[in-house]
Structure 1
Amino acid sequence: MPFRVDPATSFKADLVPGGRARVGMWACTGNPLVTEICAGSGLDWLLIDGEHSINSLESISVQLQVAAGYPIQPVVRLPINDTVLIKQYLDLGVQNLLVPMVDTAEQAAAAVAAVRYPPHGVRGVGSALARASRWNRIENYLGRADETVTLLVQVETAQAVANVAEIAATDGVDGIFVGPSDLAASMGYLGQQEHPEVVAAVEQCIRTAKELGVPVGVNAFAEATARRYLDAGVDFILVGADVALLARASEALAARYLPQTTDAEDERASY
Protein backbone atom coordinates (compact mmCIF):
# COMPACT_ATOMS: atom_id res chain seq x y z
CA MET A 1 0.00 0.00 0.00
CA PRO A 2 1.35 3.48 -0.83
CA PHE A 3 1.93 6.02 1.92
CA ARG A 4 -0.81 8.62 2.26
CA VAL A 5 0.65 12.10 2.60
CA ASP A 6 -0.71 15.29 4.13
CA PRO A 7 0.37 18.56 2.51
CA ALA A 8 2.58 20.91 4.49
CA THR A 9 0.93 23.89 6.14
CA SER A 10 0.79 26.85 3.78
CA PHE A 11 2.55 30.14 4.60
CA LYS A 12 -0.74 32.03 4.85
CA ALA A 13 -1.50 30.16 8.06
CA ASP A 14 1.53 31.93 9.61
CA LEU A 15 0.66 35.38 8.29
CA VAL A 16 -1.82 36.46 10.91
CA PRO A 17 -2.23 40.27 10.98
CA GLY A 18 -1.17 41.50 14.39
CA GLY A 19 0.95 38.42 15.07
CA ARG A 20 4.73 38.27 15.21
CA ALA A 21 6.41 39.33 11.99
CA ARG A 22 7.90 36.40 10.07
CA VAL A 23 11.57 37.00 9.27
CA GLY A 24 13.27 35.41 6.29
CA MET A 25 16.10 35.55 3.75
CA TRP A 26 16.72 34.97 0.05
CA ALA A 27 18.10 31.77 -1.48
CA CYS A 28 19.69 32.76 -4.79
CA THR A 29 22.61 30.41 -5.44
CA GLY A 30 20.53 27.58 -6.88
CA ASN A 31 22.64 25.24 -4.74
CA PRO A 32 20.67 22.81 -2.55
CA LEU A 33 23.48 22.55 0.00
CA VAL A 34 23.46 26.32 0.55
CA THR A 35 19.68 26.29 0.73
CA GLU A 36 19.76 23.52 3.32
CA ILE A 37 22.23 25.50 5.44
CA CYS A 38 19.90 28.50 5.28
CA ALA A 39 16.86 26.33 5.99
CA GLY A 40 18.40 25.29 9.29
CA SER A 41 19.14 28.87 10.34
CA GLY A 42 16.13 29.25 12.63
CA LEU A 43 14.51 31.87 10.39
CA ASP A 44 10.80 31.66 9.62
CA TRP A 45 10.86 31.61 5.83
CA LEU A 46 13.12 31.31 2.83
CA LEU A 47 12.56 32.94 -0.56
CA ILE A 48 13.89 30.80 -3.39
CA ASP A 49 14.25 33.27 -6.24
CA GLY A 50 13.38 32.43 -9.82
CA GLU A 51 13.47 36.00 -11.14
CA HIS A 52 16.96 37.39 -10.59
CA SER A 53 18.81 34.15 -9.86
CA ILE A 54 20.15 31.08 -11.62
CA ASN A 55 17.30 28.88 -10.38
CA SER A 56 15.46 26.56 -12.77
CA LEU A 57 12.50 24.23 -12.29
CA GLU A 58 14.93 21.41 -11.53
CA SER A 59 16.97 23.32 -8.96
CA ILE A 60 13.85 24.67 -7.27
CA SER A 61 12.45 21.15 -6.98
CA VAL A 62 15.59 19.89 -5.22
CA GLN A 63 15.67 22.90 -2.89
CA LEU A 64 12.06 22.28 -1.89
CA GLN A 65 13.02 18.71 -1.03
CA VAL A 66 15.95 19.71 1.20
CA ALA A 67 14.01 22.52 2.88
CA ALA A 68 11.19 20.11 3.72
CA GLY A 69 13.34 18.60 6.45
CA TYR A 70 13.38 21.87 8.42
CA PRO A 71 10.72 23.98 10.17
CA ILE A 72 10.88 26.81 7.65
CA GLN A 73 8.41 28.04 5.04
CA PRO A 74 9.85 27.99 1.49
CA VAL A 75 8.38 30.66 -0.77
CA VAL A 76 9.31 30.71 -4.47
CA ARG A 77 9.34 33.81 -6.66
CA LEU A 78 8.45 33.40 -10.31
CA PRO A 79 10.24 35.35 -13.03
CA ILE A 80 6.93 36.64 -14.44
CA ASN A 81 3.17 36.57 -13.86
CA ASP A 82 2.52 33.82 -16.39
CA THR A 83 -0.22 31.19 -16.28
CA VAL A 84 1.93 28.40 -17.74
CA LEU A 85 4.86 29.06 -15.41
CA ILE A 86 2.55 29.23 -12.41
CA LYS A 87 1.14 25.83 -13.39
CA GLN A 88 4.63 24.36 -13.64
CA TYR A 89 5.76 25.81 -10.31
CA LEU A 90 2.64 24.53 -8.57
CA ASP A 91 2.93 21.07 -10.11
CA LEU A 92 6.53 20.64 -8.96
CA GLY A 93 5.35 21.25 -5.40
CA VAL A 94 5.63 24.98 -4.75
CA GLN A 95 2.96 25.83 -2.20
CA ASN A 96 3.89 29.45 -1.56
CA LEU A 97 4.23 31.69 -4.61
CA LEU A 98 5.48 35.26 -4.93
CA VAL A 99 4.47 36.85 -8.24
CA PRO A 100 6.56 39.91 -9.25
CA MET A 101 5.56 43.17 -10.92
CA VAL A 102 1.83 43.14 -10.21
CA ASP A 103 0.68 46.66 -11.07
CA THR A 104 -3.12 46.34 -11.21
CA ALA A 105 -6.00 44.44 -9.69
CA GLU A 106 -6.55 42.79 -13.07
CA GLN A 107 -3.02 41.37 -13.03
CA ALA A 108 -3.56 40.17 -9.46
CA ALA A 109 -6.80 38.48 -10.50
CA ALA A 110 -4.99 36.73 -13.37
CA ALA A 111 -2.50 35.29 -10.88
CA VAL A 112 -5.36 34.11 -8.67
CA ALA A 113 -7.01 32.37 -11.62
CA ALA A 114 -3.71 30.69 -12.49
CA VAL A 115 -3.38 29.04 -9.06
CA ARG A 116 -6.96 27.72 -8.95
CA TYR A 117 -8.49 24.77 -10.74
CA PRO A 118 -11.70 25.20 -12.77
CA PRO A 119 -14.38 26.35 -12.28
CA HIS A 120 -12.71 28.97 -10.06
CA GLY A 121 -9.60 29.38 -12.21
CA VAL A 122 -7.61 28.09 -15.15
CA ARG A 123 -4.90 25.90 -13.60
CA GLY A 124 -4.27 22.88 -15.80
CA VAL A 125 -5.06 19.52 -14.23
CA GLY A 126 -2.09 17.17 -14.13
CA SER A 127 -2.05 16.07 -10.51
CA ALA A 128 -1.46 12.40 -11.28
CA LEU A 129 1.87 13.39 -12.88
CA ALA A 130 2.94 15.98 -10.34
CA ARG A 131 4.91 16.21 -7.13
CA ALA A 132 2.34 18.72 -5.85
CA SER A 133 -0.11 15.89 -5.13
CA ARG A 134 2.75 13.48 -4.39
CA TRP A 135 1.51 11.63 -7.46
CA ASN A 136 -2.03 11.39 -6.05
CA ARG A 137 -0.84 10.22 -2.62
CA ILE A 138 -2.42 13.33 -1.05
CA GLU A 139 -6.02 12.33 -0.61
CA ASN A 140 -8.47 14.53 -2.54
CA TYR A 141 -5.68 16.85 -3.67
CA LEU A 142 -7.80 18.46 -6.38
CA GLY A 143 -10.44 19.42 -3.84
CA ARG A 144 -7.88 20.61 -1.28
CA ALA A 145 -5.39 22.38 -3.52
CA ASP A 146 -6.56 25.89 -2.66
CA GLU A 147 -5.87 25.37 1.03
CA THR A 148 -2.29 24.33 0.27
CA VAL A 149 -1.39 27.41 -1.80
CA THR A 150 -0.39 30.88 -0.61
CA LEU A 151 -0.38 33.57 -3.28
CA LEU A 152 1.67 36.70 -2.59
CA VAL A 153 1.90 39.47 -5.17
CA GLN A 154 4.69 42.01 -5.41
CA VAL A 155 4.05 45.76 -5.36
CA GLU A 156 7.17 47.37 -6.84
CA THR A 157 6.25 50.26 -9.14
CA ALA A 158 4.68 53.68 -8.69
CA GLN A 159 1.65 52.38 -10.60
CA ALA A 160 1.30 49.48 -8.19
CA VAL A 161 1.49 51.83 -5.19
CA ALA A 162 -1.32 53.91 -6.72
CA ASN A 163 -3.38 50.72 -7.10
CA VAL A 164 -2.29 49.03 -3.88
CA ALA A 165 -5.72 49.04 -2.23
CA GLU A 166 -7.35 47.32 -5.20
CA ILE A 167 -4.49 44.84 -5.55
CA ALA A 168 -4.53 43.91 -1.86
CA ALA A 169 -8.31 43.57 -1.84
CA THR A 170 -8.36 41.15 -4.80
CA ASP A 171 -10.11 37.95 -3.74
CA GLY A 172 -7.57 35.14 -3.58
CA VAL A 173 -4.53 37.33 -2.90
CA ASP A 174 -3.14 36.18 0.45
CA GLY A 175 -0.68 39.04 0.92
CA ILE A 176 1.32 41.75 -0.77
CA PHE A 177 5.10 42.15 -0.75
CA VAL A 178 6.69 45.54 -1.38
CA GLY A 179 9.94 45.62 -3.37
CA PRO A 180 11.75 48.91 -2.62
CA SER A 181 14.52 48.44 -5.22
CA ASP A 182 12.29 48.39 -8.30
CA LEU A 183 9.95 50.86 -6.63
CA ALA A 184 12.82 53.33 -6.21
CA ALA A 185 13.77 52.90 -9.88
CA SER A 186 10.16 53.38 -10.94
CA MET A 187 9.99 56.61 -8.95
CA GLY A 188 13.19 57.98 -10.53
CA TYR A 189 15.50 57.11 -7.61
CA LEU A 190 17.48 54.18 -9.00
CA GLY A 191 19.54 52.55 -6.25
CA GLN A 192 18.07 54.83 -3.57
CA GLN A 193 15.78 52.56 -1.57
CA GLU A 194 16.29 54.83 1.45
CA HIS A 195 15.09 57.96 -0.32
CA PRO A 196 12.37 59.62 1.80
CA GLU A 197 9.81 59.45 -1.00
CA VAL A 198 10.46 55.74 -1.52
CA VAL A 199 10.21 55.04 2.21
CA ALA A 200 6.97 57.04 2.31
CA ALA A 201 5.55 54.96 -0.55
CA VAL A 202 6.48 51.72 1.21
CA GLU A 203 4.86 52.92 4.43
CA GLN A 204 1.75 53.95 2.49
CA CYS A 205 1.46 50.36 1.23
CA ILE A 206 1.92 49.01 4.75
CA ARG A 207 -0.83 51.28 6.12
CA THR A 208 -3.22 50.39 3.31
CA ALA A 209 -2.73 46.66 3.73
CA LYS A 210 -3.18 46.90 7.49
CA GLU A 211 -6.40 48.86 7.05
CA LEU A 212 -7.67 46.08 4.77
CA GLY A 213 -6.47 43.30 7.10
CA VAL A 214 -4.21 41.88 4.37
CA PRO A 215 -0.74 40.58 5.30
CA VAL A 216 2.04 42.82 4.01
CA GLY A 217 5.76 42.17 3.64
CA VAL A 218 8.85 44.05 2.50
CA ASN A 219 12.48 43.55 1.56
CA ALA A 220 14.98 45.45 3.73
CA PHE A 221 18.63 44.44 4.06
CA ALA A 222 19.73 47.50 6.07
CA GLU A 223 18.94 46.78 9.71
CA ALA A 224 17.75 50.30 10.53
CA THR A 225 15.33 50.17 7.60
CA ALA A 226 14.14 46.69 8.52
CA ARG A 227 13.49 47.84 12.10
CA ARG A 228 11.56 50.83 10.79
CA TYR A 229 9.28 48.64 8.69
CA LEU A 230 8.87 46.14 11.51
CA ASP A 231 7.78 48.99 13.77
CA ALA A 232 5.36 50.06 11.03
CA GLY A 233 3.70 46.66 11.34
CA VAL A 234 4.83 44.46 8.47
CA ASP A 235 3.78 40.84 8.80
CA PHE A 236 6.79 39.34 6.98
CA ILE A 237 10.17 40.63 5.93
CA LEU A 238 13.36 39.59 4.14
CA VAL A 239 16.53 40.81 5.83
CA GLY A 240 19.36 39.17 3.88
CA ALA A 241 20.42 36.88 1.04
CA ASP A 242 22.78 33.92 0.80
CA VAL A 243 24.81 35.52 -1.99
CA ALA A 244 25.06 38.87 -0.20
CA LEU A 245 26.11 37.23 3.06
CA LEU A 246 28.83 35.24 1.29
CA ALA A 247 30.04 38.26 -0.69
CA ARG A 248 30.31 40.55 2.35
CA ALA A 249 31.80 37.89 4.63
CA SER A 250 34.46 36.88 2.07
CA GLU A 251 35.34 40.55 1.53
CA ALA A 252 35.66 40.98 5.29
CA LEU A 253 38.10 38.05 5.43
CA ALA A 254 40.21 39.59 2.69
CA ALA A 255 40.21 42.95 4.45
CA ARG A 256 41.16 41.34 7.75
CA TYR A 257 44.06 39.22 6.55
CA LEU A 258 45.47 40.83 3.39
CA PRO A 259 47.50 44.03 3.22
CA GLN A 260 45.50 46.91 1.83
CA THR A 261 46.76 48.04 -1.58
CA THR A 262 46.95 51.59 -2.86
CA ASP A 263 45.01 52.75 -5.91
CA ALA A 264 48.25 52.69 -7.92
CA GLU A 265 48.92 49.07 -6.97
CA ASP A 266 45.36 48.14 -7.88
CA GLU A 267 45.80 49.78 -11.28
CA ARG A 268 49.06 47.88 -11.96
CA ALA A 269 47.44 44.60 -10.89
CA SER A 270 44.69 45.07 -13.45
CA TYR A 271 47.11 44.84 -16.42
Structure 2
Amino acid sequence: MPAPVNRLKAALATGDPQIGIWLNAASPMSAQIAGATGFDWCLIDGEHGPWSPEVITSQLAALELGGTNAVVRVPVGEDWIIKQALDLGAQTLLVPMVDTGEQAAQVVRATRYAPEGKRGLGAAVARVSGWGQIADYATSANAEIGVIVQAETRAAIENLDDILAVEGVDCVFIGPADLSADMGYLGNPGAEEVQAVIADAGRRIRAAGKAAGILHYDSTDYPRYLDLGFNFLGIGADVSLMRTSFAATLAIARAAVKG
Protein backbone atom coordinates (compact mmCIF):
# COMPACT_ATOMS: atom_id res chain seq x y z
CA MET A 1 0.00 0.00 0.00
CA PRO A 2 1.45 3.41 -1.00
CA ALA A 3 1.31 6.73 0.83
CA PRO A 4 -2.09 8.47 0.60
CA VAL A 5 -2.60 10.91 -2.24
CA ASN A 6 -2.07 14.50 -1.11
CA ARG A 7 -5.34 16.04 -2.26
CA LEU A 8 -4.34 19.58 -1.31
CA LYS A 9 -1.07 19.40 -3.25
CA ALA A 10 -2.98 18.17 -6.30
CA ALA A 11 -5.66 20.85 -5.94
CA LEU A 12 -3.12 23.66 -5.62
CA ALA A 13 -1.40 22.46 -8.77
CA THR A 14 -4.60 23.06 -10.74
CA GLY A 15 -4.63 26.72 -9.76
CA ASP A 16 -8.12 26.52 -8.29
CA PRO A 17 -8.63 28.56 -5.08
CA GLN A 18 -8.30 26.60 -1.86
CA ILE A 19 -9.81 28.40 1.13
CA GLY A 20 -8.65 27.66 4.65
CA ILE A 21 -8.29 28.74 8.24
CA TRP A 22 -5.54 28.95 10.85
CA LEU A 23 -5.87 26.81 13.99
CA ASN A 24 -4.19 28.49 16.97
CA ALA A 25 -6.34 27.23 19.83
CA ALA A 26 -4.39 23.95 20.04
CA SER A 27 -7.76 22.24 20.42
CA PRO A 28 -8.81 19.06 18.59
CA MET A 29 -12.43 20.10 19.11
CA SER A 30 -11.82 23.46 17.43
CA ALA A 31 -10.02 21.64 14.61
CA GLN A 32 -12.90 19.21 14.12
CA ILE A 33 -15.47 22.03 14.07
CA ALA A 34 -13.42 23.95 11.51
CA GLY A 35 -13.04 20.85 9.37
CA ALA A 36 -16.76 20.10 9.53
CA THR A 37 -17.52 23.66 8.40
CA GLY A 38 -16.18 22.81 4.95
CA PHE A 39 -12.83 24.56 4.65
CA ASP A 40 -10.61 23.20 1.90
CA TRP A 41 -7.76 23.06 4.41
CA CYS A 42 -7.00 23.84 8.03
CA LEU A 43 -3.55 24.92 9.18
CA ILE A 44 -2.26 23.76 12.55
CA ASP A 45 -0.02 26.61 13.64
CA GLY A 46 3.07 25.40 15.46
CA GLU A 47 4.91 28.70 15.03
CA HIS A 48 2.58 31.13 16.82
CA GLY A 49 0.53 28.42 18.50
CA PRO A 50 1.67 25.70 20.93
CA TRP A 51 4.10 23.14 19.51
CA SER A 52 4.34 19.63 20.89
CA PRO A 53 3.88 16.20 19.31
CA GLU A 54 0.74 15.65 21.36
CA VAL A 55 -0.84 18.97 20.35
CA ILE A 56 -0.10 18.43 16.66
CA THR A 57 -1.18 14.78 16.62
CA SER A 58 -4.52 15.41 18.32
CA GLN A 59 -5.45 18.07 15.77
CA LEU A 60 -4.31 15.96 12.82
CA ALA A 61 -6.49 13.12 14.08
CA ALA A 62 -9.47 15.45 14.48
CA LEU A 63 -9.13 16.74 10.92
CA GLU A 64 -8.68 13.24 9.52
CA LEU A 65 -12.04 12.22 11.00
CA GLY A 66 -13.77 14.54 8.56
CA GLY A 67 -11.36 14.08 5.68
CA THR A 68 -10.14 17.68 5.89
CA ASN A 69 -6.79 18.57 4.34
CA ALA A 70 -4.32 19.49 7.06
CA VAL A 71 -1.32 21.79 6.84
CA VAL A 72 1.19 21.99 9.67
CA ARG A 73 3.24 25.14 10.16
CA VAL A 74 6.46 24.19 11.88
CA PRO A 75 8.08 26.75 14.20
CA VAL A 76 11.31 26.78 12.22
CA GLY A 77 12.66 25.01 9.14
CA GLU A 78 15.10 22.70 10.91
CA ASP A 79 15.52 19.13 9.70
CA TRP A 80 14.52 17.44 12.94
CA ILE A 81 11.30 19.42 13.32
CA ILE A 82 10.33 18.78 9.69
CA LYS A 83 11.04 15.06 10.16
CA GLN A 84 8.96 14.95 13.34
CA ALA A 85 5.98 16.74 11.75
CA LEU A 86 6.00 14.35 8.80
CA ASP A 87 6.31 11.27 10.99
CA LEU A 88 3.35 12.49 13.05
CA GLY A 89 1.23 12.41 9.90
CA ALA A 90 1.51 15.80 8.21
CA GLN A 91 1.54 15.65 4.42
CA THR A 92 1.80 19.39 3.77
CA LEU A 93 4.11 21.72 5.67
CA LEU A 94 4.32 25.50 5.88
CA VAL A 95 7.85 26.62 6.74
CA PRO A 96 8.35 30.20 7.97
CA MET A 97 11.12 32.71 7.24
CA VAL A 98 12.58 31.23 4.05
CA ASP A 99 14.74 33.99 2.58
CA THR A 100 16.80 32.32 -0.15
CA GLY A 101 16.67 29.64 -2.79
CA GLU A 102 19.21 27.60 -0.86
CA GLN A 103 17.03 27.70 2.26
CA ALA A 104 14.06 26.56 0.18
CA ALA A 105 16.12 23.73 -1.30
CA GLN A 106 17.21 22.65 2.19
CA VAL A 107 13.58 22.53 3.30
CA VAL A 108 12.63 20.36 0.33
CA ARG A 109 15.56 18.00 0.97
CA ALA A 110 14.46 17.65 4.60
CA THR A 111 11.04 16.41 3.44
CA ARG A 112 12.36 13.78 1.02
CA TYR A 113 13.87 10.37 1.55
CA ALA A 114 17.15 9.57 -0.20
CA PRO A 115 18.28 9.87 -2.89
CA GLU A 116 16.15 13.01 -3.38
CA GLY A 117 16.68 14.25 0.15
CA LYS A 118 17.84 13.50 3.66
CA ARG A 119 14.71 12.72 5.67
CA GLY A 120 15.53 10.11 8.26
CA LEU A 121 13.88 6.71 7.88
CA GLY A 122 11.64 5.87 10.81
CA ALA A 123 8.13 5.88 9.41
CA ALA A 124 7.74 2.15 10.05
CA VAL A 125 7.38 2.94 13.76
CA ALA A 126 5.55 6.25 13.27
CA ARG A 127 1.96 7.35 13.02
CA VAL A 128 2.27 8.43 9.38
CA SER A 129 2.49 4.83 8.15
CA GLY A 130 -0.03 3.45 10.60
CA TRP A 131 2.97 2.08 12.49
CA GLY A 132 3.99 -0.02 9.54
CA GLN A 133 0.58 -0.83 8.04
CA ILE A 134 1.32 1.32 4.96
CA ALA A 135 4.10 -0.98 3.84
CA ASP A 136 5.15 1.07 0.81
CA TYR A 137 5.11 4.44 2.55
CA ALA A 138 8.84 5.11 2.33
CA THR A 139 9.04 4.33 -1.39
CA SER A 140 6.01 6.44 -2.31
CA ALA A 141 5.98 9.31 0.20
CA ASN A 142 8.25 11.77 -1.63
CA ALA A 143 5.72 12.44 -4.38
CA GLU A 144 2.94 13.19 -1.89
CA ILE A 145 4.68 15.71 0.38
CA GLY A 146 3.51 19.30 -0.06
CA VAL A 147 5.97 22.10 0.66
CA ILE A 148 4.87 25.68 1.26
CA VAL A 149 7.56 28.23 2.11
CA GLN A 150 6.94 31.64 3.61
CA ALA A 151 8.44 34.74 2.00
CA GLU A 152 8.07 37.43 4.64
CA THR A 153 11.13 39.67 4.43
CA ARG A 154 12.68 42.06 1.93
CA ALA A 155 15.43 39.49 1.40
CA ALA A 156 12.87 36.85 0.45
CA ILE A 157 11.25 39.18 -2.07
CA GLU A 158 14.66 40.03 -3.54
CA ASN A 159 15.43 36.31 -3.83
CA LEU A 160 11.94 35.30 -4.94
CA ASP A 161 13.03 34.09 -8.38
CA ASP A 162 15.63 31.79 -6.79
CA ILE A 163 13.03 30.42 -4.39
CA LEU A 164 10.58 29.84 -7.23
CA ALA A 165 13.22 27.93 -9.18
CA VAL A 166 13.48 25.25 -6.48
CA GLU A 167 11.90 21.97 -7.55
CA GLY A 168 9.65 20.59 -4.85
CA VAL A 169 8.33 23.94 -3.62
CA ASP A 170 4.59 23.75 -4.29
CA CYS A 171 3.52 27.12 -2.93
CA VAL A 172 5.10 30.38 -1.81
CA PHE A 173 3.18 32.06 0.98
CA ILE A 174 3.54 35.80 1.51
CA GLY A 175 3.52 36.83 5.19
CA PRO A 176 2.07 40.37 5.20
CA ALA A 177 2.67 41.15 8.88
CA ASP A 178 6.38 40.33 8.96
CA LEU A 179 6.97 41.67 5.47
CA SER A 180 5.39 45.01 6.32
CA ALA A 181 7.44 45.23 9.51
CA ASP A 182 10.65 44.47 7.62
CA MET A 183 9.75 47.17 5.10
CA GLY A 184 9.34 49.75 7.86
CA TYR A 185 5.55 49.58 8.18
CA LEU A 186 5.17 47.73 11.48
CA GLY A 187 1.50 47.05 12.13
CA ASN A 188 0.45 48.43 8.74
CA PRO A 189 0.41 45.64 6.14
CA GLY A 190 -2.14 47.66 4.20
CA ALA A 191 0.43 50.33 3.36
CA GLU A 192 0.44 51.11 -0.35
CA GLU A 193 4.10 50.16 -0.82
CA VAL A 194 3.60 46.85 0.99
CA GLN A 195 0.51 45.98 -1.03
CA ALA A 196 2.34 46.79 -4.27
CA VAL A 197 5.11 44.34 -3.32
CA ILE A 198 2.54 41.68 -2.40
CA ALA A 199 0.68 42.13 -5.69
CA ASP A 200 3.89 41.85 -7.71
CA ALA A 201 4.96 38.78 -5.74
CA GLY A 202 1.61 37.07 -6.33
CA ARG A 203 1.88 37.58 -10.08
CA ARG A 204 5.47 36.31 -10.17
CA ILE A 205 4.65 33.24 -8.11
CA ARG A 206 1.79 32.20 -10.36
CA ALA A 207 3.79 32.98 -13.52
CA ALA A 208 6.40 30.50 -12.24
CA GLY A 209 3.76 27.78 -12.03
CA LYS A 210 3.58 27.71 -8.23
CA ALA A 211 0.62 28.28 -5.95
CA ALA A 212 0.53 31.65 -4.18
CA GLY A 213 -0.57 31.90 -0.57
CA ILE A 214 -1.64 34.63 1.82
CA LEU A 215 -3.56 35.07 5.08
CA HIS A 216 -5.97 38.01 5.28
CA TYR A 217 -8.72 38.83 7.75
CA ASP A 218 -10.69 41.48 5.82
CA SER A 219 -13.30 39.81 3.62
CA THR A 220 -13.62 42.89 1.41
CA ASP A 221 -10.13 42.17 0.08
CA TYR A 222 -10.68 38.51 -0.82
CA PRO A 223 -11.71 39.24 -4.44
CA ARG A 224 -8.62 41.39 -4.98
CA TYR A 225 -6.23 38.73 -3.71
CA LEU A 226 -7.97 36.05 -5.75
CA ASP A 227 -7.69 38.27 -8.84
CA LEU A 228 -3.96 38.62 -8.13
CA GLY A 229 -3.68 34.83 -8.27
CA PHE A 230 -3.49 33.95 -4.59
CA ASN A 231 -5.08 30.50 -4.64
CA PHE A 232 -4.00 29.32 -1.16
CA LEU A 233 -6.12 31.82 0.77
CA GLY A 234 -6.34 31.87 4.55
CA ILE A 235 -9.32 33.86 5.76
CA GLY A 236 -8.78 33.97 9.52
CA ALA A 237 -7.91 32.05 12.66
CA ASP A 238 -10.09 30.04 15.01
CA VAL A 239 -9.18 32.14 18.04
CA SER A 240 -9.82 35.44 16.25
CA LEU A 241 -13.15 34.28 14.89
CA MET A 242 -14.19 33.06 18.34
CA ARG A 243 -13.26 36.41 19.87
CA THR A 244 -15.14 38.48 17.30
CA SER A 245 -18.15 36.17 17.39
CA PHE A 246 -18.24 36.26 21.19
CA ALA A 247 -17.97 40.06 21.19
CA ALA A 248 -20.66 40.53 18.54
CA THR A 249 -23.10 38.16 20.25
CA LEU A 250 -22.48 39.75 23.64
CA ALA A 251 -23.05 43.22 22.19
CA ILE A 252 -26.44 42.11 20.86
CA ALA A 253 -27.38 40.70 24.25
CA ARG A 254 -26.21 43.84 26.09
CA ALA A 255 -28.26 45.98 23.72
CA ALA A 256 -31.31 43.81 24.37
CA VAL A 257 -30.87 44.22 28.13
CA LYS A 258 -30.77 47.99 27.75
CA GLY A 259 -33.93 47.82 25.68
- TM-score range (shorter-chain normalised) is over 0.9
**CA–CA distance in structure 2, aligned partners of residues 184 and 81 of structure 1:** 21
Helix, strand or coil for the counterpart of 1:74? strand
Give 2:4's aligned amino acid. Answer: P
Query: Is 1:108 aligned to 2:136, yes or no?
Result: no
> Paired residue for 2:75?
79
> Paired residue for 1:218?
214
Which of 127, 144, 147 is the equivalent residue of 2:143? 147
Using the TM superposition, name which of 148-157 and 64-73 deviates more. 64-73
Which of 26, 35, 45 is the equivalent residue of 1:49? 45
Helix, strand or coil for the counterpart of 2:210? coil
Give 2:11's aligned amino acid. Answer: D
- Number of aligned residue pairs: 256
How far did 1:254 drift? 2.7
Percent identity between matched residues is 41
Q: Structure 2: give runs of 5+ residues left out of the alignment.
A: none
**CA–CA distance in structure 1, aligned partners of residues 7 and 146 of structure 2:** 6
**CA–CA distance in structure 1, aligned partners of residues 196 and 69 of structure 2:** 29
Deviations 1:237-268 (A, max 9, x none): 00011000011111112322237xxxxxxxxx
> Paired residue for 2:9?
12
> Paired residue for 1:66?
62
Deviations 1:153-198 (A, max 9, x none): 0111111111111112211111111110111111110111111111
Using the TM superposition, name which of 214-223 and 247-256 deviates more. 247-256
**CA–CA distance in structure 1, aligned partners of residues 75 and 39 of structure 2:** 24
Helix, strand or coil for the counterpart of 1:132? helix
Q: Which has the larger radius of gyration?
A: 1
**CA–CA distance in structure 1, aligned partners of residues 13 and 116 of structure 2:** 25
> Paired residue for 1:267?
none
How far did 1:98 drift? 0.3
**CA–CA distance in structure 2, aligned partners of residues 248 and 8 of structure 1:** 36
Q: Please report the RMSD computed on the Cα atoms of aligned residues, expressed in angstroms.
A: 1.6
**CA–CA distance in structure 1, aligned partners of residues 158 and 51 of structure 2:** 31
Using the TM superposition, name which of 84-93 and 225-234 deviates more. 225-234
Which of 251, 256, 259 is the equivalent residue of 1:255? 251
> Paired residue for 2:238?
242
**CA–CA distance in structure 1, aligned partners of residues 116 and 209 of structure 2:** 23
**CA–CA distance in structure 1, aligned partners of residues 5 and 36 of structure 2:** 17
Deviations 1:18-63 (A, max 9, x none): x421111111100101110001111111111000012422111111
The alignment's TM-score, normalised by the length of structure 2, stands at: 0.94
How far did 1:69 drift? 1.9
The alignment's TM-score, normalised by the length of structure 1, stands at: 0.90
Structure richer in helix, relative to its length: 2
Equivalent pair of 1:24/1:43 in contact (CA under 8 Å): yes
Equivalent pair of 1:29/1:55 in contact (CA under 8 Å): no
How far did 1:5 drift? 7.5
C-alpha distance 14-91 of structure 1, shift in aligned 2 (>3 A): same
> Paired residue for 1:90?
86
**CA–CA distance in structure 2, aligned partners of residues 229 and 127 of structure 1:** 38
> Paired residue for 1:264?
none
**CA–CA distance in structure 1, aligned partners of residues 251 and 225 of structure 2:** 32
Give 1:48's aligned amino acid. Answer: I
Using the TM superposition, name which of 100-109 and 6-15 deviates more. 6-15
**CA–CA distance in structure 1, aligned partners of residues 46 and 229 of structure 2:** 27
> Paired residue for 2:23?
27
**CA–CA distance in structure 2, aligned partners of residues 72 and 199 of structure 1:** 31
Give 1:160's aligned amino acid. Answer: A
> Paired residue for 2:161?
165
Equivalent pair of 2:2/2:136 in contact (CA under 8 Å): no
